[in-house]
């Protein structure tokens, strides 16, 4: 079971920043999970929230704010860390070590994605990173677009615990997932995990910081465990 640092090692550094990804490397993670969206000027930025009120105390909407302006936002101080900046996806991909797995979540709640899937596909393919990138999304349309833009890139559907399980797990997942399925960890049972594995899908669960739960999921056969605390879980799982 591989440990992926959730938005980087976000318990110890500001989430989705270069500091958090570097901390994930230092803590011995096997890779990272991060969030990608298109900003107002068309660049792909790494950020989870649609608006920057939680992260920076600013009312800016990321998808309508240009990159030159987003660079001014401090997304570290309000989280209790040193000042930090939103990075471009291309800069994150270039900064991560060659052995790292990268789970890129496509963030888009709208019908149109602003070219997100196509732009991420180009960034990954231009850097020849297909063998260590997994693309995930709660939005099946994003994964359909990714399949059209880059059929060889590995895709995994994120299951929303607040929506109907059966439709997502049994109807949507087989249509859009070529590599993995990404459920919330509380949705995982041995039977469900066994079923996914039998169908050839790897299982990536989020977000687990409890050592006992991590051990249970490892016993089930989970492939990727997404955690805020990779060092602590690594030590607990030895």
Q: Which domain holds residue 19?
A: 2-34+89-237
Phi and psi at 73, nearest 5°, equal -75, 130
Q: Considering the domain boundaries, does residue 41 fall inside one?
A: no
By DSSP bridging, strand 101-106 and strand 31-38 are parallel
Give the span between the Cα atoms of 238 and 202, in whole angstroms.
22
Q: Considering the domain boundaries, does residue 220 fall inside one?
A: yes
Q: Which of 48, 118, 170, 182 is catalytic?
A: 48
Q: In the predicted model, is pLDDT for residue 110 greater than 90?
A: no
Mean pLDDT of 107-112: 91
Q: In the predicted model, is pLDDT for residue 97 greater than 90?
A: yes
Q: How confident is the model at residue 135 (pLDDT cuts 50, 70, 90)?
A: very high
Mean per-residue pLDDT over the chain, rounded:
97
Closest by CA position to 158, among listed 179, 142, 181: 181
Q: Considering the domain boundaries, does residue 80 fall inside one?
A: no
Q: Considering the domain boundaries, does residue 15 fall inside one?
A: yes
Q: In the predicted model, is pLDDT for residue 133 greater than 90?
A: yes
Q: How confident is the model at residue 129 (pLDDT cuts 50, 70, 90)?
A: very high
CB count in 10 Å sphere of residue 54: 12
Extract the tokens encoding 187: 């949705």
Q: Considering the domain boundaries, does residue 153 fall inside one?
A: yes
Give the span between the Cα atoms of 235 and 190, in whole angstroms.
24
Give the span between the Cα atoms of 193 and 191, in whole angstroms.
6
Q: Considering the domain boundaries, does residue 76 fall inside one?
A: no
Decide: pTM greater than 0.85: yes
Residue 16: what pLDDT? Answer: 98
Q: In the predicted model, is pLDDT for residue 30 greater than 90?
A: yes
Q: How far does Cα 15 stand from its chain's mean position?
A: 11
Q: Considering the domain boundaries, does residue 111 fall inside one?
A: yes
Mean pLDDT of 20-40: 98
| CA-derived radius of gyration, the chain | 17
Q: How confident is the model at residue 12 (pLDDT cuts 50, 70, 90)?
A: very high
Residue 182 falls in the annotated catalytic set: no
Residue 115: what pLDDT? Answer: 97
Residue 197: what pLDDT? Answer: 98
CATH of residue 25's domain is 3.20.20.190
Give the span between the Cα atoms of 230 and 214, in whole angstroms.
11
pLDDT above 70 as % of the chain: 100
Mean pLDDT of 11-22: 98
Phi and psi at 165, nearest 5°, equal -65, -50
Residue 219: what pLDDT? Answer: 98
Q: Considering the domain boundaries, does residue 127 fall inside one?
A: yes
> Domain count of the chain?
1
The dihedral through the CA atoms of 21, 102, 34, 92 has a sign that is positive
Closest by CA position to 170, among listed 199, 141, 202: 199
Residue 198 falls in the annotated catalytic set: no
Interval 141-187: pLDDT, tens: 999 999 999 999 999 999 999 999 999 999 999 999 999 999 999 99
Residue 32: what pLDDT? Answer: 98
């Amino acid at each position: 079971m591989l440990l992926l640092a959730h938005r980087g090692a976000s318990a110890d550094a500001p989430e989705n920043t270069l500091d958090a990804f570097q901390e994930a490397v230092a803590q011995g993670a096997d890779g990272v999970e991060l969030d990608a969206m298109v900003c107002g000027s068309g660049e792909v930025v790494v950020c989870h929230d649609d608006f920057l009120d939680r992260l920076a105390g600013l009312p800016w909407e990321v998808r309508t704010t240009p990159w030159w302006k987003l660079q001014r936002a401090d997304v570290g101080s309000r989280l209790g860390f040193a000042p930090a900046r939103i990075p471009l996806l291309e800069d994150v991909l270039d900064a991560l070590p060659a052995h790292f797995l990268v789970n890129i979540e496509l963030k888009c709640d709208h019908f149109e994605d602003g070219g997100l899937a196509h732009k991420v596909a180009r960034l990954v393919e231009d850097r020849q990173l297909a063998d260590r990138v997994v693309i995930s999304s709660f939005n099946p349309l994003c994964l359909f677009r990714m399949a059209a833009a880059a059929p060889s890139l590995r895709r995994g559907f994120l299951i929303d615990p607040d929506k109907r399980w059966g439709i997502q797990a049994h109807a949507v997942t087989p249509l859009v997932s070529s590599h993995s399925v990404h459920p919330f960890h509380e949705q995982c049972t041995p039977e469900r995990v066994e079923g996914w594995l039998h169908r050839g899908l790897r299982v990536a669960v989020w977000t687990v910081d409890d050592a006992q739960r991590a051990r249970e999921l490892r016993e089930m056969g989970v492939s990727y465990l997404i955690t805020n605390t990779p060092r602590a879980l690594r030590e607990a799982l030895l």
